[in-house]
Structure 1
């Protein structure tokens, strides 16, 4: 936070990301009310993950080739326009499922380049020695938004409905766009203009380094089965605990409180080690099990706090490891692979979880996610990550 460009970007992102989660919470509730079907909710939310699933890695090629600040101004502007369109449609009473799918799908295409660009951009805002801390604090941005966004959405949904939530998101983009226009990066962009600037080169680069492929593999497994909260929590609130939009907001906020705490805790870790990935994946699985077996709303909220802490400690550690171990010329493409396994699994995972929730209930879906986390922890425990020959010795994760 000593870096003025990073501070400006941080506060702009807080506002924008909070608006994003206000809208995401409202969308989940709106679709569930329109369709009454958890499976339909899973299919609708899956639309946003289709573009990253099909084209995600190619977004990193663009992020490695262009000025990231200008790219982010463009992507955030498009996202703001999409939110405004959804808001205007809701005011007119025409915000049905087809429009929600269209906006979600369009946002997914923007996300292909926006997500790797945002994560890579952090390296241009701080001195190299502060990159690990900056990556952790950047995770706090999204996880703080997971607290503010669902909490505000829960209040708005209970008081006036979902429509104002879309307006909040549309106006929130002005903050981050203003910050991006005003700031000047400390470091110039590390563009990749060599013959090795494609996805195949990035895949070979990641495959040769355990410090890269292990976090990516773990996230693919966990993301597919465990990170489907937008599908599970609305049904948990509605069917299991017989609540309303406020109940859904409460569950989402509990998850988000833990996620902020987890990201902040990771900020004290100077370097992500393999044993930390094992521990957080294991804790994620255990806390999901506790959530699945919670008998009351209160105990479910407590378990979700623990779930958020473990889940986003794992996510922040894994993404930080990738940023630290990726060469600057490959960083955009490596983070695009991260987006691919983190968000690109959404179409499959959301559809799968929606089917489980419809057939066996949200508690069963949570237990399936817990099993995936335990499998990821077992994988990491059995894989060694020796130093690769072209990295500094003091930059290796200790065993």
Structure 2
């Protein structure tokens, strides 16, 4: 593992390494993947993920014993920003690194950390998230997937939906009900479940973009070892909420670099089509730029190693902003934006995919409840 950089030096190291790596063996992966383009170059991006791991550029904030660099939050932000600026490919291991990995670090036993963290860092095992259900959606307290302990094995039955990357993942962290008769937040457990086994069926869901990042997952007597419960049995709600907090960490600053690139393309298109001459559309473009600046300042103000319920403000803000940007992307194209005879262009894809931004990873309605009840202390 590389030695720790001098203060402020990781950004320079990352910029130089990314430029060299993406100009050589992996030059062909630059810009691949992303929302609505998840199918692009999957095998090549998987090889890139493992190259990142070998070079020590994954899981930067993790302890060194598990493959990380013990990097500061400032350095983690710097890397994610440089990664986005370099137009490096969309990560295939982000659910492992950004969600389950930090949750295992927080709640896992020593044995669980040794078993699961190094393969995530090396890009050898990919993960998916088993939260949403057809009858629950963002209301995680209403999950009905059940697991019962039979000897030294959990047996799981139920269905999950909108499961990103389930078709390529080796493991899934599954929120399920393990106490008979329990309701809402009580009696839930957080299980780590292997995907490649009898009793697990993955069925892709075709999105508006024509791609299939999301999946339905059916558990019909699927099994996992009794020791593969993260946290105590019945304490799954607390663990699940911690995972959602980690989801909105340092990588969101890199996400905003991508937003800035999309906005620049929308503005360039508006100038080319003449839409920028319309005072109403010009006002919407200016507002989009100002709101993106606010988004970055708020992210810098709130990002921290132990995120609290206030991170829901960031999710609510960026998802609503990005959805409006998608609508603006269509507006500046005019009538040409309504036709896709030769396939979707970037702005059409932005519009279609961003319709889901205010739903996945916790709908806007749920985020408003969290902000009201847990951040502001208002009554239910």
Q: State the TM bucket, normalised to the shorter chain.
A: 0.3 to 0.5
* Structure with the largest fraction of helix: 1
* Structure with the largest fraction of strand: 2
Q: TM-score, normalised by structure 1?
A: 0.35
Q: Which has the larger radius of gyration?
A: 2
Higher RCO by CA contacts (8 Å cutoff, separation 6 or greater)? 1
Q: TM-score, normalised by structure 2?
A: 0.36
